[in-house]
Homo-oligomer: A and B are copies of this chain.
Amino acid sequence: MLNYSTSEENYIKAIFHLQKQDGTVTTNELANELKTKPASVTDMMKKLKAKKLLNYQPYKGFRLNNDGTRVALGIIRRHRLWEYFLAEKLKFSWDEVHEVAEDLEHVSNKKLIDKLDEFLGFPRTDPHGDPIPDANGKIEISRKICITELPLHTVAIVSSVSDQSSEILELLEHKKITIGTKLEVKKKFDFDKSMEIRIGRHPVFTISDRLAQNIFVQSN
């Protein structure tokens, strides 16, 4: 296992996340994601290609290969285990963990991470409901769907939330929605795509399309 610089790791992780949407990632997409400039991205892509972590032809975009994906999953494992530690053990709130984990994820000592995993009881998901890769880089394929796709009158369990800001946390806490909440969609309005939700036997209430877009439920 080679070691990569903090900068290289940040690029690798960002490509991994952007790939999930499209097949191949473009220079501008990545520059935008990392708040850097396209020229810097091109430089780094040449370097990562030389290190055989991705496929890249000038002007044709890039995509992590098997080795690159393995490296990315290692970084994501570290990130999400630290997020779990911060929330569960240090009582950080949901929206605070990401920023700190951004730094901790770059301390890449295998024994540290495997012992941390054990200490935490081998958690399966981080505080945002995203799956944590195991020591071999295996990750659960999250069969999650957005509640905007959920059929009416079908009870489902909230499994993750894509936005991780304090603003969405405030709203979700107010609406008493959290990971694990069982809810069903009772009505959808075409006009503004808002919807009425019910949790258990509580009265129905309304959430905006903007919020609904960020709430995901288990689909199995």
Total residues of chain A contacting the partner, CB 8 A:
18
B109 and A92 contact, CB distance less than 8 A? no
Q: Does A191 contact B (CB under 8 A)?
A: no
Binary flags per residue of A163-185, CB closer than 8 Å to B gives 1, else 0 = 00000000000000000000000
Chain B residue nearest in CB terms to A112: B100
B104 and A92 contact, CB distance less than 8 A? no
B103 and A115 contact, CB distance less than 8 A? no
Instruction: Tell me, in angstroms, the Cα distance from A116 to B86 when the chains sit together.
Output: 9
8 A Cβ contacts from A186-220 to B: none
Q: Does A89 contact B (CB under 8 A)?
A: yes
Q: Which residues of B contact A86 (CB under 8 A)?
A: 112
Q: Which residues of B contact A104 (CB under 8 A)?
A: 104, 107
Q: Does A59 contact B (CB under 8 A)?
A: no
Q: Which residues of B contact A90 (CB under 8 A)?
A: 112, 115-116, 118-119
Q: Which residues of B contact A109 (CB under 8 A)?
A: 99-100, 103
Q: Which residues of B contact A111 (CB under 8 A)?
A: 92, 96, 100
Q: Does A60 contact B (CB under 8 A)?
A: no
Within the complex, the shortest CB–CB distance from A127 to chain B, in Å, comes to 15
Binary flags per residue of A110-132, CB closer than 8 Å to B gives 1, else 0 = 01100110110000000000000
Within the complex, the shortest CB–CB distance from A62 to chain B, in Å, comes to 29
Q: Does A91 contact B (CB under 8 A)?
A: yes
Instruction: Tell me, in angstroms, the Cα distance from A104 to B86 when the chains sit together.
Output: 14
Instruction: Tell me, in angstroms, the Cα distance from A112 to B100 when the chains sit together.
Output: 8
- Contacts A86-B112, A90-B118 aside, 19 further interface pairs with beta carbons under 8 A come to A89-B119, A90-B112, A90-B115, A90-B116, A90-B119, A91-B115, A92-B111, A92-B115, A96-B111, A99-B109, A100-B107, A100-B109, A100-B111, A100-B112, A103-B107, A103-B109, A104-B104, A104-B107, A107-B107
